[in-house]
Amino acid sequence: MDHTNPNSFRFAPLRRAAYRLSVTRAEQLPADDGAEVAIAGRSNVGKSSTLNMLTERRALARVSRTPGRTQAINVFDLDPGQRLVDLPGYGYAKVPEALRRSWGPLLEQYLRRRGSLRGLILVMDIRHPYGPHDADLIAFAAGCGRPVHVLLNKADKLSRGAAIQEMARLRRIPELHGVAMQLFSAQSGLGIDELHERIASWLTPEAEKETPALAGANSESSKGGEDS
Ligand code: GDP
């Protein structure tokens, strides 16, 4: 792990992310061992930008955007036995209905059966968060016992006060009780430490012990950095 300054936490394996493969059927996925974290979100919320920022690798998210791959599950290897999994963006208007119908089962099968899946990062646009697809995904993940960590992305587009207020409003929604949530900006880097910590804790249980602040990391004030 890198600690370039005392307030920043980076989970170094993310920087070593390497594209492995894209699959459209669950049986094409790599062997279900080790640990993986998946990232999901409606199109245009900033999922690719988040992947770029997390891995510091521009070319990586470009892979996921290659035509034909936006509807696939794209798998990236981190360190041995660790993977980052980019789930198909939902809500693409241009996608043919037949293809749209095929994502549901793929996603459902993945979330229901994948033993190595430790948690789901769900990216939302803070200016219009928690749409029907997000609600479906959260409900489904909860039903499968999958932890969800929501990124309220593009927080740089709102004042800090408005962003905090919006997060507080979302936290009051009963269906979101128990869902971890944080402010984020894939553009400015707001909230990046907290996201690295979450992923580290899911992929390497020891990392959790190294960062006892994680338990309180969802509160706005635990970390410095984004509080000025
Ligand atoms: P994706 O379709 O979810 O992969 O979304 P992209 O990563 O392609 O982002 C969609 C648009 O939103 C692009 O124009 C990005 O530059 C912009 N964007 C993504 N994240 C942020 C953010 O945190 N802040 C701002 N201001 N713009 C963002």
In a structure prediction context, what are the per-residue pLDDT tens digits for the chain, which is 228 residues long?
444 566 689 999 999 999 999 998 899 999 999 999 999 998 889 999 999 999 998 777 666 566 656 678 999 999 999 999 999 876 655 556 665 666 678 888 899 999 999 999 999 999 999 998 899 889 989 999 999 999 999 999 999 999 999 999 999 999 999 899 999 999 999 999 999 999 999 999 765 445 545 444 444 444 444 443
Which is the closest atom of ligand 1 to the Cα of 51?
7
Cα of 149 vs centre of ligand 1, distance in Å, is 18
Q: What's the pLDDT score for residue 97?
A: 64
Q: Looking at ligand 1, which residue's alpha carbon is closest to its atom 18?
A: 46
Type of residue at 76: F
Q: What's the pLDDT score for residue 133?
A: 84
Probe residue for ligand 1, chosen from 43, 45, 49, 53 as the CB with the greatest number of ligand atoms within 8 Å: 49
Q: What's the pLDDT score for residue 226?
A: 41
Count of CB atoms within 10 A of residue 109's CB? 14
Q: What is the DSSP letter of 224?
A: S
Which protein residues are within 6 Å of ligand 1, measured from CB?
41, 43-49, 89, 153-154, 156-157, 185-187
Cα of 45 vs centre of ligand 1, distance in Å, is 6
Cα of 153 vs centre of ligand 1, distance in Å, is 8
First to last CA, the chain: 25
Which is the closest atom of ligand 1 to the Cα of 52?
7
Q: Looking at ligand 1, which residue's alpha carbon is closest to its atom 6?
A: 46
Cβ atoms of 75 and 23 within 8 Å: the answer is yes
Cα of 40 vs centre of ligand 1, distance in Å, is 14
Q: pTM for this structure?
A: 0.86
Render the burial of 67-103: b for 16+ CB within 10 Å, e for the rest.
eebbbbbbbbbbeeebbbbbbbbbebeebeeeeeebb
Distance CA 187, CA 177 (A): 27
